[in-house]
Amino acid sequence: MTLKPVQTLGEFIIDRQDHFKYATGELSRILSAIRLATKIVNNHVNMAGLLDILGDHGEENVQGEKQQKLDVFANNIFINTLSQREVVCGVASEENEDFIAIKSSKNQDSSKYVVLIDPLDGSSNIDVNVSVGTIFSIYRRVTPSGTPVTLEDFLQPGHKQVAAGYVVYGTSTILVYTTGHGVNGFTLNPGVGVFFLSHPDMRFPEKGKIYSINEGNYSKFPTGVKKYLKYCQEVEGDRPYTSRYIGSLCSDFHRNLLKGGIYIYPSGTNSPNGKLRLLYECNPMAFIAEQAGGKASDGYRRILDIEPTSLHQRVPFFCGSKDMVEKVEEFMKE
């Protein structure tokens, strides 16, 4: 079997620089740093059964969740890699209580961008060898360049993102991202350590038939969600739909993007406002979804229009094929 000659991620980033109105090379360098960190994390994920990196780290993160050893490792790798490139003025991570200000040794506080990241999404699946991922989001700072980065630079609505993406560490490792000009996916060739364009111009299928939700929480769901699930299970037309839930947002979202479907994590579970974080998970996935012809909502309003109030704010999340999201919104509003 021979591999098709395709474009590398590095070549693609350079070719598409003119799509970004503030193109100065910095955004390309940020994406390159994320690419490097991704390859390092991928190597450790693939070696997880051989290295002493499985299991609990012994501490909890700011949300009170048990940290896995790989959580801590991935968090350190992404923060260190982004810091050393001197192209971002700040990083916020799901694993840290506060943002991290980064100062350039060349020109203090001169960088124009901040990065928000979920270093290892779905980390509770690590020990059972189920796909995990990374989610990232990039914003242009709103405070003046040359001044210290502040919380205001991170608390921006999702529609102000300049780039967002995710990585799935699965049977193959794929990096999917957008800069607001469509969505493209790149698969890692482990033999040469290079990402190659494998999924150009990704789009949600117009008609989805998969719904992804933890139905174990059914008794706590809002009435609108319960009615939507009954709708999905009815024998009528192209229904019933298929239920598929991995428990790793990156993996569930990626499957639904390719096959057509909706991901739901509502309020009314053990987390009153939903489990997913607006800044680290919902905004970047919503940006990608819209660029791929899909839709993302909290059940009533567009995710990308929500004004954040805190770094670790949680919101209900309905994301996927446009028709499916609009249908569940109908049930929510009734």
pLDDT in the model for residue 4: 58
Say if residue 270 is exposed, middle or buried (CB neighbours under 10 Å; 0-12, 13-18, 19+): exposed
What 3-state DSSP class applies to 182? coil
pLDDT in the model for residue 106: 61
Same domain, 183 and 258: no
Tell me the per-residue pLDDT of 29-75, one tens digit each, with 9 for 90 and over.
Answer: 899 999 999 999 998 888 765 455 554 545 555 555 556 688 898 99
Same domain, 109 and 62: yes
- Mean pLDDT on 121-144: 89
121 is in an annotated binding site: yes
Portion of the chain with pLDDT greater than 90, in percent: 70
Same domain, 156 and 289: no
The CATH number of the domain holding residue 121 is 3.30.540.10
Q: Per the domain annotation, does 299 fall within a domain?
A: yes
- Mean pLDDT on 119-137: 88
Place of tokens 């050393």: 84
120 is in an annotated binding site: yes
Q: Report the domain count for the chain.
A: 2
- Mean pLDDT on 104-111: 64
Same domain, 136 and 259: no
pLDDT in the model for residue 125: 79
283 is in an annotated binding site: no
Same domain, 252 and 168: no
Lowest mean pLDDT among 63-67, 68-72, 124-128, 143-147: 63-67
28 is in an annotated binding site: no
Tell me the per-residue pLDDT of 215-226, one tens digit each, with 9 for 90 and over.
Answer: 999 999 999 999
169 is in an annotated binding site: no
Same domain, 162 and 234: no
pLDDT in the model for residue 63: 58
Q: Per the domain annotation, does 273 fall within a domain?
A: yes
pLDDT band at 21 (very low <50, low <70, confident <90, very high): low
241 is in an annotated binding site: no
275 is in an annotated binding site: yes
Q: Average model confidence (pLDDT) for the chain?
A: 89
Tell me the per-residue pLDDT of 224-276, one tens digit each, with 9 for 90 and over.
Answer: 999 999 999 999 999 999 999 999 999 999 999 999 999 999 997 677 888 99
Crossing angle of helices 223-233/322-333, nearest 10°? Answer: 130
Higher local confidence (pLDDT), 151 or 146 = 151
| pLDDT exceeds 60 at position 108 | no
172 is in an annotated binding site: no
Tell me the per-residue pLDDT of 164-212, one tens digit each, with 9 for 90 and over.
Answer: 999 999 889 999 999 999 999 999 998 899 999 999 999 999 889 999 9
Same domain, 182 and 318: no
Cis peptide before 157 (omega within 30 of 0): no
- Which structural domain, as residue segments, surrounds residue 281? 210-333
Lowest mean pLDDT among 16-30, 44-58, 102-116, 135-149: 44-58
pLDDT band at 20 (very low <50, low <70, confident <90, very high): low
Q: Give CA–CA dist 276/45, Å, rounded.
A: 23
Same domain, 237 and 126: no
User: Parallel, antiparallel, or unpaired: how do β-strands 194-199 and 161-169 relate?
Assistant: unpaired
Same domain, 158 and 229: no
Same domain, 153 and 97: yes
Query: Around Cβ 80, how many Cβ atoms within 10 Å?
Result: 14
pLDDT in the model for residue 57: 45
243 is in an annotated binding site: no
Same domain, 177 and 76: yes
E strand residue ranges, 141-260: 161-169, 173-178, 184-189, 194-199, 210-212, 242-243
Contact 38, 134 (CB under 8 A): yes
Domain boundary among the residues 138, 171, 199 is at 199
pLDDT in the model for residue 282: 98
Q: Per the domain annotation, does 56 fall within a domain?
A: yes
pLDDT in the model for residue 71: 86
245 is in an annotated binding site: yes
122 is in an annotated binding site: yes
Same domain, 218 and 129: no
Q: Decide: pTM greater than 0.85.
A: yes
Contact 327, 231 (CB under 8 A): yes
